Amino acid sequence: MPDTLTITDNRTGKTYEVDITNETISAMDLRKIKVHDDDFGMMTYDPGYTNTASCSSSVTYIDGDKGILEYRGYPIEQLAEHCDFQEVAYLLLHGELPNASQLAEWTDSLKMHTMVHENIKEQMASFRYDAHAMGMLISTVASLSTFYPEAKKVHCAENRMIQAKRLIAKVPTLAAYAYRHSQGHPYNYPKNNLSYTENFLHMMFKMSDNPYKPEPALVRALDVLFILHADHEQNCSASVMRAIASSEADPYSALAGAAAALYGPLHGGANEAVLNMLRTIGDVKNIPDYVAKCKDGVHRLMGFGHRVYKNYDPRATIVKKCADDVFKVTGRNPLLDIALELEKIALEDEYFVKRKLYPNVDFYSGLIYQAIGLPVTMFPVMFAIPRTVGWLAQWQELMEDDERRIQRPRQVYLGERKRDFVPIDQRG
C-alpha cells in the first residue's frame, strides 16, 4: 500500500486521497480537485520552482541544510581530494568511477575532439575587441550545432555520447580563444599530450615560441575548481538545459541556452560580480557601509546566499583552502583581506544569520581566477567549462527518462478577457 495524503477541499467539503511517492505528490493528482465538473482542476503555484521537483535524478545529491554535496553518491570533498576533472566527468556521465583502462580510454577519446573547425576561429575573430568572453562562448557553442547536424539524432545513445565528448573537449578551446581574442593575441591550438587543465592553461597563456609549463599547483587548483563546479543538480542553467532538450533540440543549442542562463549575476556570473564588488568596496574600512546597504536592499552581497544551501556551501570551504594553495605560488591577492573581513562581518550580522545566508562557491573562486591572471570577464566562462559536464549528464539522463515530456509549465492567468477590438482612432 503506498503512503497517501488526504486533502479536504473546504469549498466543497469533498475529501481526496493522493499517493505519496518519494516524499512527493504528483501535481496531476490535484487536477481532480474541482468545485464544478467543468472546472480545469487544482494546480500548484510555485514561481521560481522553490518547492517543485521537475524530474527524478541520480546524478547529484544535495542536502542544503546539512551542507552536503555528492556526485553519484561520492562526497565532493573526497572527489576534490583524489580525482582529476576528467575522472569526475566520467563519473558524472557514466554513473561509476572509471577503472584505469576506462579512464585512459576516456581521456584519449576527449583529446580526439579538442580542435574546432577553422571557420569557428574566423567567427570568433569577427567579435568586437571588447566582446564579453561569455557572449562569445554562448554564440560559438550554438554555432557548433551547424557543424555537427547529426547531433539532432538525440534518441541514439551512441550519437549522444559522441556529441558529449565533443562538447567537453571543445568548450575549453572556445573559452581560450575568447580570451586570446580579448587580448588581441593569436589563438593557441590545443596540445593533446597535456592534461585537460594543463592544455587549457597552455591555450590561454602560451606566448610565441617561449616554452610554457603551467605551474603544477595552478593545474591542481584548476582541477579542484572544475570538479567543484561540474554539477549542481536542478539549478537554473541545468533546468534550462533540460527545458530546451525536452523539445528534442540538439545538445549544442541546448547547451548554449544553459550557458546563457549561467551568465546572469545571480547564477554563474556571481563570481565576476563578487570581484567587482570587492573592488568597489576597495578597503576594509568601507565594509560596514557596504553591508548596511545590502541590508537596506540597495544591492546584494554577491557570493552570499543560495536557494538550496541554508548552511555553509561545502564547495566554498574547499575553494577557500584552494585559494591558500594558489596564493602560495602567485602571491596573496590583496582583495582577500576584504573578502575575509566581509565574510566575518556578514556571518555575525543578524540579517544574514536570520536568513541563513552563507558564502557560496562564487565568493572565493574569483580571487583564485584573478591570481591565475584571468580578467573578470572570463570568470563565468571558468564556471561554464566544467558545468558543461553537468549539463550533459542532466541531458543524458533526461533523454533516457521514460517520464520525459516537453517542458511546458502552466500559468495563473490574471489578465483581461473577452474584450472587443477598438479601432485605433477610437482608443483613448
Residues annotated as part of the active site? 267, 306, 362
Give the nearest distance from C-beta 409 to ligand CMC in angstroms: 17
Among 88, 362, 364, 389, binds ligand CMC (CB under 6 A): 362
364 touches ligand CMC by CB under 6 A: no
Give the nearest distance from C-beta 62 to ligand CMC in angstroms: 10
365 touches ligand CMC by CB under 6 A: no
CA angle 359, 227, 387 (to 5 degrees): 85
361 touches ligand CMC by CB under 6 A: yes
Binding piece for ligand CMC, criterion CB under 6 A, among 10-18, 171-179, 358-366, 416-424? 358-366
* Residue number, 82 or 355, with CB nearest to ligand CMC: 355
240 touches ligand CMC by CB under 6 A: no
390 touches ligand CMC by CB under 6 A: no
Contacts with ligand CMC, 281-320, as mask; x by CB under 6 A: -------------x-----xxxxxxxx-------------
267 touches ligand CMC by CB under 6 A: yes
Contacts with ligand CMC, 32-51, as mask; x by CB under 6 A: ----------------x---
Give the nearest distance from C-beta 397 to ligand CMC in angstroms: 19
Binding residue count for ligand CMC, defined by CB under 6 A: 21
Give the nearest distance from C-beta 21 to ligand CMC in angstroms: 26
Give the nearest distance from C-beta 44 to ligand CMC in angstroms: 18
Determine the residue with CB nearest ligand CMC.
305
* Residue number, 153 or 307, with CB nearest to ligand CMC: 307
Give the nearest distance from C-beta 331 to ligand CMC in angstroms: 26
266 touches ligand CMC by CB under 6 A: yes
* Residue number, 48 or 428, with CB nearest to ligand CMC: 48
Among 132, 232, 242, 320, binds ligand CMC (CB under 6 A): 232
Q: How far apart are CA 370 and CA 264, in angstroms?
A: 19
Binding piece for ligand CMC, criterion CB under 6 A, among 90-98, 115-123, 263-271, 407-415? 263-271
Give the nearest distance from C-beta 66 to ligand CMC in angstroms: 17
Q: Residue 297: how many CA atoms within 13 Å on its side-chain side? A: 0
Q: How far apart are CA 182 and CA 21, in angstroms?
A: 51
Q: Are strands 14-20 and 3-9 parallel, antiparallel or unpaired?
A: antiparallel
164 touches ligand CMC by CB under 6 A: no
Question: Comparing C-alpha atoms, which of 148, 162, 163, 79 is closest to residue 117?
Answer: 148
Binding site for ligand CMC (CB under 6 A): 48, 232, 235, 266-268, 270, 294, 300-307, 355, 357, 360-362
